[in-house]
Amino acid sequence: MQIGKYKLTVVNTGFFRLDGGAMFGIIPKNLWQKTNPPDKQNRIKLATRNLLLENGKRKILIDTGMGTKWNDKAKAIYDIDQAKHSIEISLGELNIRPEAITDVILTHLHFDHTGGSTKSENEKIVPTFPNAKYYVQKKNYKWAMNPSERDRGSYIKENFLPLSNEGVLKLIDGKEKFDDEIDFIIINGHTFAQQLLKISDSKNTVLYCCDLFPTTSHIPLPYVMGYDLQPLVTVEEKKKILPLAVDENWKLFFAHDPEIVCATVVNTEKGFKVGEKFNELR
Ligand SMILES: [Zn+2]
């Protein structure tokens, strides 16, 4: 898919599982399990789906997935499956070497979005993309360095501290435009200062909607994750963004839906629902 000067390509970086109850907050299991069947441990399957934006000069990666620095115990807890898709495999299939990535935009520093930003090399943790500048919101970085007891498990410092130490992590302070086609939408319900990416030209808009709408099942307003730090703020953020998505025919790009890459949204008598679903970006 082409938007303005950018070619957009899906980069699948694997699958993992999280507790279905935590993924759906107050929604009863007998509702969410219809679309997201849990395994014996009550976990549902989730993708880590990233996006590559290329023009003649830049190769910009949006988020980096779980990465490969996991021990066997953690791999089992999250059922991490990178047999067919990982950041290395998927970029390799596109004939893109890690050295060729010029920019990595991180929506936020949760481990399932930034794990692939660093890798273990000769017992040292180093940036995976040696020539890239990495970007994240300053407020999210500050929070990640000192999270609460409740969300401490979601931020693993080896995913981002080495970037800061190497001087390649640029902290953005609320700046809302990255390039002509790329705007940031900063939201605070899920964590503090998560930046969604709105990629648009005069014809098409794709919203990398990240953990505001992790899957197609999360479009209706009350479907808010138990992980969210401020769930009522998330509801307000959804109420602001969904009418725009309907009116301007945006495609929401899902970072975690196990099957659907992107979809439109419709407003019905029963509220906002997923519209047309796509298995590829087009
Ligand atoms: Zn998150």
Residue 29 to residue 226: CA distance in whole angstroms: 13
Report CA-CA distances (Å) from 79 to 19, 100, 262. 11, 30, 24
Distance 58 CA to ligand 1 centre (A): 26
84 has pLDDT over 90: no
Residue 91's nearest CA partner among 12, 193, 26, 21 is: 12
Q: What is the pLDDT of residue 282?
A: 82
Residue 282 to residue 278: CA distance in whole angstroms: 8
175 has pLDDT over 80: no
Confidence of residue 231 (pLDDT cuts 50, 70, 90): very high
Distance 211 CA to ligand 1 centre (A): 5
Residue 49's nearest CA partner among 242, 265, 244, 252 is: 252
* Residues found in the chain: 282
Q: What are phi and psi of 127, to 5 degrees?
A: -60, 135
Residue 105 to residue 231: CA distance in whole angstroms: 25
Distance 110 CA to ligand 1 centre (A): 5
Q: What is the pLDDT of residues 23-53, one digit of tens each?
A: 999 999 999 999 999 999 999 999 999 999 9
Distance 269 CA to ligand 1 centre (A): 30
Distance 164 CA to ligand 1 centre (A): 20
Distance 141 CA to ligand 1 centre (A): 13
Residue 183's nearest CA partner among 200, 168, 167 is: 200
Helices (H), 166-248: 231-247
> Average pLDDT, whole number, for the chain?
96
What single-letter DSSP state applies at residue 154? G
